[in-house]
Structure 1
Amino acid sequence: MSLKFHRDKLSPLNIWPGFVDALTALVMVLVFVVLVFVIAQYILGTELNGRNKAVDELNQEMNRLSALLMRAKQDINQLDAEKTQLSEQVVTFEETIESLQSQNMTLSTKIESLTSDKANAAKAKMSLEEKMAYLQSQIQELMSQLKLKAIAIDQHKSNNQVLEEEVASLTKKLKSALNSEAIKLANYKSEFFGRLKEALADQTDIIVVGDRFMFQSEVLFDSASAELEDNGKEQLKILAQTLKKISKSIPADLNWILRVDGHTDKRPIHTKQFNSNWELSAARAISVVNFLAQQGIPTKRLAAAGFGEFQPLDTTDQDGDYNRNRRIELRIDQR
């Protein structure tokens, strides 16, 4: 009896039920967190799709109204041409009437002076009067047509004014939407460059000018080379990490890109690999873009450009000026 009590006292504690309870609680918490994240993603995606659809509808409506406006302008031009043609016909008829009236007066004089030809002159007079009556009726009809054309032109001009007002309103809305996107992008750009400036504060070869970050070429590359050095890769890794953090908070409907511009000094280069400074600057910009893509920056958000020696910061021939002109510039732009 004493031996059994002693053996039970020394047996190990059974902790398995407590461990299972703790693991179950942890799984439930993780499931709840994932569920909240999925719901938030769905709500944000719905709102962004709604905004894109509204902008597309505004663009379609503006295109439709622009087509209607163009058609109305063509109709007005055609009516103006017809009005001009009718006016010319009226002038022609008036001239004809004046000519006939002159002939009638001549015939009347002949009737008075030539009694022998009175019958023939009377017939001629009657014929001229009939022609005059016919021309008068034609003039009245033309005047009626002119009035109808003038009414139609006024109606088209009124419709044209309404269309122009609608187009102006839609244009204003579209500009407002684009300005809103530009302001949002500027805010994210400011945050990105602010964080990047803090991360690279101890680097004297990295300069901030307005909305651009400038790396001196010596920080990233050897002379006449487009292959990134280890120190340059470390600096670009910091940049890529900062950009990835900021890009997570940028809405998907903002079409932004990180543009990488390569620049050289004006001293000529001619090697087996590079025939000009233009080729060297472009190759360096592409090397930076490729490295950022390897660090996880989406390729659709990257662009490379080479400017050679054609956009210098300093135009003198000092070594210090050459150093400043050899640079890689980074900026966030809107596509």
Structure 2
Amino acid sequence: MAGTRLRRRDARTDYWPGFVDAMASLLLVIIFLLSIFVLAQFFLGQQLSGRDTVLNRLNSQISELTELLALERASNRDLEDTIATLSANLSDAEADRDRLSGLLDAASSEAGEAGGALATLESELDEERRLSQRALSQVELLNQQISALRRQIAALENALDASETRDRESQAKIADLGRRLNVALAQRVQELSRYRSDFFGRLREILSQRSDIRVVGDRFVFQSEVLFPSGTDTINPEGREELVKLADAINELSAQIPEEIDWVLRVDGHTDARPLSGTGRFRNNWELSAARAISVVRFLIDQGVDPERLVAAGFGEFQPLDEGDDPEALARNRRIELKLTGR
């Protein structure tokens, strides 16, 4: 009976070495995990300084490892409780050993995953280094381009300043030339006015006996009947005599006026407001007035007047001297006007 009890006691105590081995293995795994954790922190601290994105990823993985360690510690406490329970119940010890085996497998798998994560991080660090080097090269190139652009802008600003200086000088010269030109034009106008007065005075002397030739403002006016039969542009003999006198006066004046005064004698043809029949040579008063002015100009050219000093224009009935429609008003509106003016 005593022998039987002794054998049972010996059989019960044979399980303790297994428990001790399990505890030792568990402790080794924990130490291994802690070593991995410490090494991971060391390498991550050396490799990932300044890399916020990668550091956040490592912190996340460290948090996972911490959670695993907490789980392992909790498992250790459970194992201690289990060992205490195994001392009372061997069947529970068998179940705990199986659970510990499963936890060891999980820990080994997680340790392998941690190693893979470290390798991935190192690869990402290498890629980040390459990208940083490429970015530095691009920044250097951009700095060179910016320096070149600044030099070009400085050159353009210098050119613009020089151009503005030349522009101000040119504007000053233009303003001075404008003042001088205005003075010269005013002098020419005064000189032309003097010669116009002399010309009209000479015409008054020559044609003073004619009541149908008169001065109106700055124009010398011939009534059309003096020069042309009604409705034609052919100068009559009496008109030719008067125009010969006019040509002599113009030639005399041309010799007196300085060459720098650019003058012309404008010959303007005017009609009254009565429309033409349209069946004759001229269809309307425009054509008749222009043809009469051209006839006068041609006759003056034949008398030696410089054609470059003559201008012919036709105004039809649209520039009347008298707005009435009586015979006297109509006669006053039928006329040839001579005006000495600038070109």
Q: TM-score range by the shorter chain?
A: 0.5 to 0.7
User: Quick check: 1:297 aligned with 2:305?
Assistant: yes
Which structure 2 residues correspond to residues 131-142 of structure 1 after superposition, within 5 A? 131-142=138-149
C-alpha distance in structure 1 between counterparts of 2:306 and 2:141, whole Å: 82
Percent identity over paired residues? 43
C-alpha distance in structure 2 between counterparts of 1:299 and 1:221, whole Å: 22
User: Quick check: 1:144 aligned with 2:151?
Assistant: yes
Counterpart contact for 1:264–1:281, Cα < 8 Å: yes
C-alpha distance in structure 2 between counterparts of 1:274 and 1:255, whole Å: 34
The answer for the alignment partner of 1:180 in structure 2 is: 187
Larger Rg: 2
User: Quick check: 1:330 aligned with 2:338?
Assistant: yes
Equivalent AA in structure 2 for residue 255 of structure 1: D
User: Quick check: 1:114 aligned with 2:57?
Assistant: yes
Distance 1:128 1:299, change over 3 A: closer
Distance 1:302 1:132, change over 3 A: closer
Deviation at 1:129, TM superposition (A): 4.0
Deviation at 1:188, TM superposition (A): 0.7
The answer for the alignment partner of 2:215 in structure 1 is: 208
Which structure 2 residues correspond to residues 212-291 of structure 1 after superposition, within 5 A? 212-269=219-276, 270-291=278-299
Deviation at 1:175, TM superposition (A): 4.4
C-alpha distance in structure 2 between counterparts of 1:227 and 1:271, whole Å: 18
C-alpha distance in structure 2 between counterparts of 1:177 and 1:264, whole Å: 38
Equivalent AA in structure 2 for residue 286 of structure 1: I
The answer for the alignment partner of 2:320 in structure 1 is: 312
Deviation at 1:158, TM superposition (A): 1.6
Instruction: State the TM-score, normalized to the length of structure 2.
Output: 0.58
C-alpha distance in structure 1 between counterparts of 2:331 and 2:158, whole Å: 73
Counterpart contact for 1:211–1:331, Cα < 8 Å: yes
Deviation at 1:171, TM superposition (A): 4.3
C-alpha distance in structure 1 between counterparts of 2:149 and 2:302, whole Å: 79
Instruction: State the TM-score, normalized to the length of structure 1.
Output: 0.59
The answer for the alignment partner of 2:38 in structure 1 is: none
Distance 1:139 1:283, change over 3 A: closer
Larger RCO, structures 1/2 (Cα 8 Å, 6+ apart): 1
String of CA shifts for 1:58-77, please: whole Å, max 9, x gaps. Answer: xxxxxxxxxxxxxxxxxxxx
Deviation at 1:325, TM superposition (A): 1.5
C-alpha distance in structure 2 between counterparts of 1:273 and 1:133, whole Å: 89
Deviation at 1:137, TM superposition (A): 4.0
Equivalent AA in structure 2 for residue 252 of structure 1: E
Structure 1, unaligned stretches of length 5 or more?
1-106
Equivalent AA in structure 1 for residue 249 of structure 2: T
Distance 1:123 1:259, change over 3 A: closer
Distance 1:136 1:183, change over 3 A: same
C-alpha distance in structure 1 between counterparts of 2:275 and 2:312, whole Å: 22
C-alpha distance in structure 2 between counterparts of 1:153 and 1:299, whole Å: 51
CA RMSD of aligned residues (A): 2.7
Where 2:268 maps in the other structure, the secondary structure is strand
Distance 1:215 1:129, change over 3 A: same
Structure 2, unaligned stretches of length 5 or more?
1-49, 59-117
Q: 1:158 aligns with which of 165, 185, 191?
A: 165
Counterpart contact for 1:111–1:122, Cα < 8 Å: no
Q: 1:194 aligns with which of 201, 204, 215?
A: 201
C-alpha distance in structure 2 between counterparts of 1:161 and 1:294, whole Å: 53
C-alpha distance in structure 2 between counterparts of 1:196 and 1:281, whole Å: 23
